[in-house]
Chains A and B, each alone.
Chain A
């Protein structure tokens, strides 16, 4: 089903946070540290205050997010609110900041040696790893590296804050309305109900918009000081600097197996190059969860560095930690397409991830005399088609056409608490709440109908906008709802608990067909077939869009995207979209999506799991495996740039040469 707001989006009639214009609104520019580690020794606040158009200036230490001693390039130091963004930017130069530059820590292995960590080192073992290695007929060790990639949401991180009466309204591009409400309230020392958070539409987040960032407290404080609405919006350059990232990893892995393929041991040392703060995602997750192997040992080091902090990014940890499966179908057919320098191959990788959602989440349904329903819940649609899916769920349960359902969301003052849109949780958390609310409303309708028609409730149902009785008679729904006159039926629903004694997980496989130019190292992804099991699929069209988006983002991460840092200073060198190379439409392969679409019987309300993250997880591993099939080369680091591809090809050639040169094996 096409999106209920698709036409409005195409016509530019949807209001994003970036479109909010309030009377008298001021604009903010943020002074960010040009150094990876430094101390501000001087700053001329008065000069900035005196600059044209400036209405307020915040200096180092005035907010928790404005640092006297910034610890990465891009960390906020000061902020200026002015009548125009240009004036605010010009005033930053008047600040004339002076710096004492300190030595940064940039190398993740060095951080591990120094025990510079953002959190505890995580150790895990099941079975006996050493024994497992000894029991294997073969043991393989390899080091893999993954790069830092950036979310680069189309709508940059931003908030507009506005004090009204005795409370504050925060318009913000966010994945978690209620989390923003609580953190802004805490920052300002307000009761949470004095904070209203609004996000009607969002231009992408991918995990980077779960938190308020620095821009929200800056805008809130400047709005408080000036009494004016204040926008604080990151520029595209700031977005590439200070909006979070998928952190780099170094993975030193061991696998041991018997000659029949039975895995006897898996082990890994995982270094997560977190940046200066953030949390350490489970890069070892796939190794622990995906394989039937008794002996597994992992250690994860969360390296703390003078680099911009990580933020959740679409299946954090699992994208970096997923490796390929060593078997594939239709191999010969694909390889036969090779000609000249172009070698073709096929590769497969599988995916495991969470995506079960959970309580608490609430929704209401309002149903009026016209027989039309409104879903009311203070959740957010982060661009994934949530509004459409919720309308479908409500319509199905109520037995009315989906066109008769409106969804009201995106405003903490207009609806009950709703979950964060992260961790592939929106459908599995919110869907059941909406369905329960619709069931509650339907029950009330049937109760009224039973009284009206002198029938037992159990013989009545609602289908296609009709009250139907088991004896075949039917009445238009409006015959009952009309009785309400100005009144309304209110259905209330809550997300119930998850099934006990089990973990709800999602699964999938992707098969990639690639072609590699073995002379120039060019990798072309021709086709990706994606098969995912997320239980029942609510909206097939929306779901396939999710899969395509995940794969396209995955192709970028695999082949061309990389945040590059100056190794001496820690300065971020790729700040624009010509330097940081996301895929263009020409880089997108043919994508075939097949969703299993069988309700998960353990999720009794809706049977659906989340699909936001699963599609990006196996893409890189499937492509790497296909490259191996095509060329025999083992790529070890992402992105698979020309130099990495050529390195792997030369390494494979040398190995082959050595094998041929060696005396005949047994």
Chain B
């Protein structure tokens, strides 16, 4: 395997695709490579090519979660999502750009079962063990998206700048379809460079997990009050980060037998998050 260290975004984008994969913090990619779930002939280390740091509403995609969680310029929901994610060691390595692109923690997918998301015929989780899985959008694949940060950025209405385009973060994600089973719209040779995260009036991120630290969300709820409206986004409930149009949309959840409890948790956390962003003034 070859390791490249391009010094510009253009150079990096040119090196990507055709068996080349971008490497940033490595907290997700390295285990996937080791397990054979991602194959790469060339790793393109993008730390010199992707901006890192926070300037007002602009956040370099190479900024680590550890840097985000302590910076007062960063909206509360994103800071909380970062500090509730992973462990301090992982947050010191993991970048925000990489975090948005992490794969599901579905155990069938991670163990290399020939599942639907890997291109196979069936989702093993649906009839199998699925307590960590989806309550929305699971017609074809019941995996749950694990990113706390993505839910926060979705509720915050962040915009991404890539090597090719600018797009609202909602457009980064897509439910996988029979023709195209990827969960993002990012091209193989496209790099996320920067995020623009507008300052909200108030925001928060609440998370339910199996232990008090270092666990992926069973349910994560981001709530943001901005411009007279409130936006809610959920983590851990669908194959992609999930926008909840209104609290009542939880009535439309279609939980699996083993994920019905997630709806109950989501109701409580949504209610609390709304109280936090609505009832009392909070720092953005």
Contacts and interface: CB of A to CB of B under 8 A. Distances in A.
Contacts of A642: 208, 210, 218, 261, 265
B208 A520 contact: yes
Contact of B129 (A519, A567, A586): A567
A584 B211 contact: yes
B265 A583 contact: no
A521 B261 contact: yes
A553 to B, nearest CB: 14
B282 interface: no
B265 A568 contact: no
B139 interface: no
Contacts of A520: 208, 264-265, 268-269
Contacts of A573: 107-108, 111, 129
Contacts of B214: 578, 584
Contact of A565 (B129, B213, B265): B129
B212 A586 contact: yes
A578 B213 CA distance: 11
B105 A578 contact: yes
A120 to B, nearest CB: 32
A581 B210 CA distance: 8
Contacts of B124: 566, 568
Contacts of A587: 211-213
13 contacts: A517-B268, A559-B211, A560-B210, A564-B107, A564-B131, A573-B111, A575-B111, A583-B211, A584-B214, A586-B211, A587-B213, A643-B258, A643-B260
B128 interface: yes
Enumerate the 3 nearest inter-chain pairs by beta-carbon distance, A residue then B residue, closest first. A519-B268, A643-B261, A573-B107
Contacts, number: 79
A238 interface: no
Contact of A341 (B110, B111, B213, B268): B268
Contacts of A522: 208
Interface in B252-274: 258, 260-261, 264-265, 268-269
Interface string B45-64: 00000000000000000000
Given A641-B131, A643-B260, A646-B265, 9 more contacts: A520-B269, A559-B211, A566-B128, A566-B129, A568-B127, A573-B107, A573-B129, A576-B110, A579-B107
A238 B232 CA distance: 41
A133 B137 CA distance: 52
A116 interface: no
A372 to B, nearest CB: 44
Contacts of A571: 111, 113
A574 interface: yes
B136 interface: no
B131 A567 contact: no
Interface in B127-182: 127-129, 131
A575 B261 CA distance: 24
A578 B103 CA distance: 14
B215 interface: yes
Q: Main SS of the interface on chain A?
A: loop
Contacts of B265: 519-521, 642, 646
Nearest to A567: B128
Give the one of B212, B216, B269 with max A CB within 10 A. Answer: B212
Contacts of A585: 213
Contacts of B113: 571
Interface string A639-655: 00111001100000000
Interface string A328-371: 00000000000001000000000000000000000000000000
A575 B31 CA distance: 13
Give the one of A520, A571, A579 with max B CB within 10 A. Answer: A520
B261 A646 contact: yes
Nearest to B259: A643
Contacts of A565: 129
Contacts of B127: 568
Interface in A185-210: none
Contact of A641 (B128, B210, B212): B210
B129 A581 contact: no
Nearest to A584: B213
B225 to A, nearest CB: 22
Contacts of A566: 108, 124, 128-129
B240 to A, nearest CB: 20
A186 to B, nearest CB: 36
A93 to B, nearest CB: 10
Interface in B234-284: 258, 260-261, 264-265, 268-269
A522 B218 CA distance: 11
Interface string B90-112: 00000000000000010110110
Contacts of B268: 341, 517, 519-520
B211 A579 contact: no
Nearest to B36: A93
Contacts of B131: 564, 641, 643
A81 B212 CA distance: 41
Interface string B72-88: 00000000000000010
A640 to B, nearest CB: 11
Contacts of A341: 268
Nearest to B216: A578
B262 to A, nearest CB: 8
A647 B212 CA distance: 21
Contact of B105 (A524, A559, A560, A579): A579
Contacts of B269: 520
B211 A646 contact: no
Contact of B211 (A564, A567, A581): A581
Give the one of B131, B261, B269 with max A CB within 10 A. Answer: B261
B147 to A, nearest CB: 14
A647 B210 CA distance: 16
Contact of B107 (A574, A583, A646): A574
Contacts of A519: 264-265, 268
Nearest to B206: A520
Give the one of B110, B218, B268 with max A CB within 10 A. Answer: B268
A336 B129 CA distance: 39
A20 to B, nearest CB: 24
Contacts of A524: 212
A584 B212 contact: yes
Given A566-B124, A568-B127, A578-B216, A560 B111 contact: no
Nearest to A517: B268
A262 to B, nearest CB: 39
A587 B208 CA distance: 14
